[in-house]
Amino acid sequence: MTLLALAAALAIQTTMPADPASAEAAAVMVPVNAVFAALAARDGALVTPHLDPEARLTAVVARPDGTQIIRRMSGAEFAGGLQPGGPALEEVMPDPIIVIDGDVAVVWGRYLFKIDGAISHCGSDHFDLIRKDGVWLIAGLTWNQRTTGCQG
């Protein structure tokens, strides 16, 4: 797609961000918040019910030398990596943008990640969600991760 075609497509897009205070936006945020709760509890079982069985997660990690690492995993691998014990984890997404169109939704926003209360890294989260049998599930989660420009 050319840049001009992309710009035209975005200009005529009619789907607008949802009101974050609406019941529909709150329902979309349930699985997103479940990810943050699972991280804090270090308990993958808390997020598993909110993942589509085919969910894919991708992390793009910026390294200090300017290179990047791209990690891809299934939802089961992500959940399995959340084990009890270790330092306290906290992820905060202060101002998510929620866009809903029928049974498809996107949640995007900047996040801050803390380990034992200290800022570890930051970036942007991009959640792709689908509504299946009336329940919102995470179909995909992509995030970037950097250690510069992070402010609490």
Q: Is the pTM of this model over 0.95?
A: no
71: tokens are: 């990690």
Q: Choose which CATH entry (3.10.450.50, 3.40.50.300, 3.10.290.10, 3.90.1150.10) describes domain 20-145.
A: 3.10.450.50
Q: What is the dihedral of CA 35, 40, 44, 48, to 10 degrees?
A: -30
Determine the pLDDT at residue 72.
Answer: 98
> Nearest to residue 140, comparing CAs of 48, 17, 44, 54?
54
Which residues have CB under 8 Å from 99's CB, separation 6+? 15, 16, 17, 18, 105, 106, 107
* One pLDDT digit (tens) per residue for the chain, 152 residues: 565 554 544 554 567 888 888 999 999 999 999 999 999 999 999 999 999 999 999 999 999 898 999 999 999 999 999 999 999 999 999 999 999 999 999 999 999 999 999 999 999 999 999 999 999 999 999 999 999 999 86
CA-to-CA dists, residue 139 to 17, 54, 67, angstroms: 19, 7, 28
**Any idea where the domains of the chain sit in the sequence?**
20-145
Determine the pLDDT at residue 18.
Answer: 87
CA-to-CA dists, residue 152 to 6, 46, 108, 121, angstroms: 34, 26, 18, 10
Whole-angstrom distance, CA of residue 80 vs CA of residue 45: 8
